[in-house]
């Protein structure tokens, strides 16, 4: 399948785009990069990758283009890239918020070939020098197939499984944004708040000396670029605010139990959190196959895909043959007790 | 120096106590363990360590005893161990809160030989099977020397440097509890709140599928035993509540900037947190030596030690010779700009 998308381009070659580019190159694809920053282009070229001087040169004649620039630039870049690529060329992005760019693409008439994407991987660094080909290997990679874009979805998902061994998580864009608010955006807010509180504390020096696991882990993503994190949060503002409210309720319960000196109530709330960790650590999946005719109206296929993602499942195989597509899907098994 | 404390005992052989025991044994000390739970005693014996059947048998004739049981048990265990050990025997604990046990020891007339301690290391597991000899190697290890306990402090600090390559952080007990509230206790509350919010969320399955670095790191310590965490928080209740208030202020500022769609204000707050991460990552220390006469009134020595810890410093050497004690101290260098 990946052979179908043998000519690739990556637009925006920072941490994520640069890592993508290096892995696609290592996998033997014909891949070209481009970045608006001449210095970044130079640094990526130093790593032995082909980098064009204009975005048009980078994407012309390509089968697939990954848009990896900052969130606020995506609508304009999408239009620019769409204008100079073939109507069969699959377009995708790697932004951390999906509803807005998905709507923009539909409005631009690109719903049949733009597949919103979000690989769940990153680092607290940024820029092309932090890029490494293994960064996205084995990641959960959200793709948001739309009703007219299933053909593009299948081709892109097959490439991601093939090259990145991705666990492809199909979701609607709003579902992604709802889940990502808790899985990523709120954790970034908490990390920033904790690290920022220490920054303002009179005890800062002593706190940093005692900072071991819980503090160091809990603030790691606060080391990322503030503008990148701000864009992410603003791009999913309503969902993040709603989940911050939910978190505030839980935090309030913990605080009140502590204030009241109620050890049982405190341990009960903490036990709820421990269940999440146990589930996360011990998750098991059951595999299945599902086949759909390629030429059907896609309603059943789309429903299957979105239900899979919403239920915590993912795909590790997408195969088109004989007029049918076969998915290898995985669903969480009944969670272990206790 | 460690030769002075060649006979050791560890009371309470779970994660921390068991790890201590294994490392002391590997370092060649004559060490005996004890735990109130017969099954735990059996498991530790299976790892080739001497374990006594009663706490009295474990500690009798020892030079140093580490109290590693749960926080609420420490006052009773301290009295029991003190009653059957020599007045030269150094006593210490590894609890995550220090002011209460420090006061208890003073009231029990043990200020000259009980040195409150807290190694800044741990894991999200518990029990003797999670113990490993390397767990505490190189850790920041807080010790709280009191005005009458400097002799015991010196001997214990020398042992910790020698056997664990510890960075010994001398602090008063209240200073420790203030710094630990932000460095460890509040991060535990946040991890619990985040993991608990997901536990209650209708999107839980999808959230767990997307859970990558920020969520996984930020909730790691929520996997620990709820009772242990509850005891820790309750033991430092007022400081934790005060720091939760400070965190609430910062979180409120981030939330308001997000609600207002104010990208600049949001990025400015996030930049404060990023400074903390930069400092944590790039901290450099300058070394120095300080000598004090062993027989003096200790006022200057105690002031030096507490100032060192409060300023973010630590000790990597404690040497007594010729009636003087020489400390090798490290203080944070001027932080790098930006």
* Cβ separation B206–A270 shorter than 8 A: no
Total of domains in chain B: 2
Residues 6+ apart with CB under 8 A from A334: none
* Cβ separation A201–B192 shorter than 8 A: no
Q: Is residue B316 part of a domain?
A: no
The answer on B187 and B78 residing in a single domain is no
Q: How confident is the prediction for chain A on average, in pLDDT?
A: 92
The answer on B155 and B8 residing in a single domain is yes
Give contacts of A171 with chain B, Cβ < 8 Å. Answer: 206
- pLDDT, one tens digit per residue, over A19-56 is 999 999 999 999 999 999 999 999 999 999 999 999 99
Last residue of a domain, one of B158, B173, B188: B173
The answer on B198 and B109 residing in a single domain is no
* Cβ separation B270–A187 shorter than 8 A: no
Last residue of a domain, one of B123, B153, B173: B173
Residue A6 predicted with pLDDT over 90:
no
CA atoms within 13 A on the CB side of A39: 2
Distance CA A210, CA A197 (A): 15
Residue B337 predicted with pLDDT over 80:
no
Check residues A241 and A228 and name the one with the higher pLDDT.
Answer: A241
Residue A262 predicted with pLDDT over 50:
yes
Least confident of A97-111, A321-335, B174-188: A321-335
- For residue B129, name the pLDDT band (cuts at 50, 70, 90): confident
* Cβ separation A276–B218 shorter than 8 A: no
- Which contiguous run of DSSP H or E holds residue A32? strand A30-34
Residue A1 predicted with pLDDT over 60:
no
- For residue A124, name the pLDDT band (cuts at 50, 70, 90): low
ipTM for this prediction: 0.88
Spatial contact of A158 and A2, defined as CB atoms under 8 Å apart: yes
* Cβ separation A273–B171 shorter than 8 A: no
Q: Supply the CATH number for residue B148's domain.
A: 3.40.50.720
Q: Which residue of A has its CA nearest to B313?
A: A209
Q: Supply the CATH number for residue B255's domain.
A: 1.10.3660.10
- pLDDT, one tens digit per residue, over B261-311 is 999 999 999 999 999 999 888 888 999 999 999 887 789 999 999 999 999
Mean pLDDT of A83-89: 95
Distance CA A199, CA A208 (A): 10
pLDDT at B216: 87
Q: Is residue B311 part of a domain?
A: no
Chain A closest-CA separation from residue B306 CA (Å): 11
Spatial contact of B196 and A223, defined as CB atoms under 8 Å apart: no
Q: Which residue of B has its CA nearest to A278?
A: B223
Q: Is residue B233 part of a domain?
A: yes
| Domain region containing A30 | 2-172
Q: Is residue B302 part of a domain?
A: no
Could you give phi then psi for residue A151, rounded to 5 degrees? -65, -45
The answer on B275 and B211 residing in a single domain is yes
Q: How confident is the prediction for chain B on average, in pLDDT?
A: 92
Q: Is residue B291 part of a domain?
A: no
pLDDT at A336: 44
For CA atoms B72, B76, B79, B85, give the dihedral sign: negative
* Count of positions (residues) in chain A: 338
- For residue A248, name the pLDDT band (cuts at 50, 70, 90): very high
Give contacts of B220 with chain A, Cβ < 8 Å. Answer: 213-214, 217, 277
Q: Is residue B323 part of a domain?
A: no
- pLDDT, one tens digit per residue, over B78-107 is 999 999 999 999 999 999 999 999 999 999
Mean pLDDT of B112-137: 88
pLDDT at B128: 83
Q: Is residue A22 part of a domain?
A: yes
The answer on B134 and B269 residing in a single domain is no
Mean pLDDT of B105-128: 89
The DSSP 8-state label assigned to residue B183 in this structure reads I
* Cβ separation A203–B178 shorter than 8 A: yes
Least confident of A2-11, A272-281, B43-52, B249-258: A2-11
Q: Which residue of A has its CA nearest to B205?
A: A312
Q: Is residue A115 part of a domain?
A: yes
């Amino acid at each position: 399948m990946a052979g179908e998308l043998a000519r690739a381009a990556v637009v925006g070659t920072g941490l994520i785009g640069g890592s993508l580019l290096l892995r696609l190159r290592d996998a033997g694809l014909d891949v070209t990069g481009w970045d608006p920053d001449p210095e970044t282009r130079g640094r990526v070229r130093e790593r032995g990758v082909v980098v064009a001087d204009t975005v048009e040169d980078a994407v012309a004649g390509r089968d697939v283009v990954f848009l990896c620039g900052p969130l606020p630039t995506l609508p304009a870049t999408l239009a620019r890239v769409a204008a100079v690529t073939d109507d069969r060329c699959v377009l995708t992005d790697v932004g951390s918020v999906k509803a807005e760019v998905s709507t923009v693409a539909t409005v631009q008439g690109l719903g049949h070939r733009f597949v919103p994407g979000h690989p769940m991987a990153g680092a607290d660094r940024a820029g092309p020098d932090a890029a490494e080909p293994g960064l996205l290997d084995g990641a959960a990679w959200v793709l948001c197939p739309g009703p007219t874009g299933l053909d593009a979805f299948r081709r892109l998902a097959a490439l991601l499984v093939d090259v990145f061994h991705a666990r492809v998580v199909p979701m609607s864009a709003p579902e992604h944004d709802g889940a990502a608010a808790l899985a990523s955006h709120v954790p970034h807010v908490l990390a920033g708040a904790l690290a920022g509180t220490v920054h303002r504390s009179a005890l800062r020096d002593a706190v940093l000396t005692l900072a071991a696991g819980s503090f160091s882990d809990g603030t790691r993503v606060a080391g990322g670029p503030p503008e990148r994190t701000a864009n992410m949060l603003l791009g999913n503002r309503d969902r993040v605010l709603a989940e911050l409210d939910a978190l505030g309720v839980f935090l309030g319960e913990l605080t009140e139990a502590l204030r009241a000196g109620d050890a049982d109530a405190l341990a009960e709330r903490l036990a709820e959190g421990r269940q999440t960790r146990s589930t996360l650590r011990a998750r098991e999946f059951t595999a299945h196959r599902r086949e759909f005719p390629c030429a059907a109206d896609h309603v059943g296929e789309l429903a299957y895909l979105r239900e899979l993602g919403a239920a915590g499942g993912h795909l590790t195989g997408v195969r088109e043959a004989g007029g049918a597509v076969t998915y290898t899907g995985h669903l969480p098994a009944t969670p272990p007790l206790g």
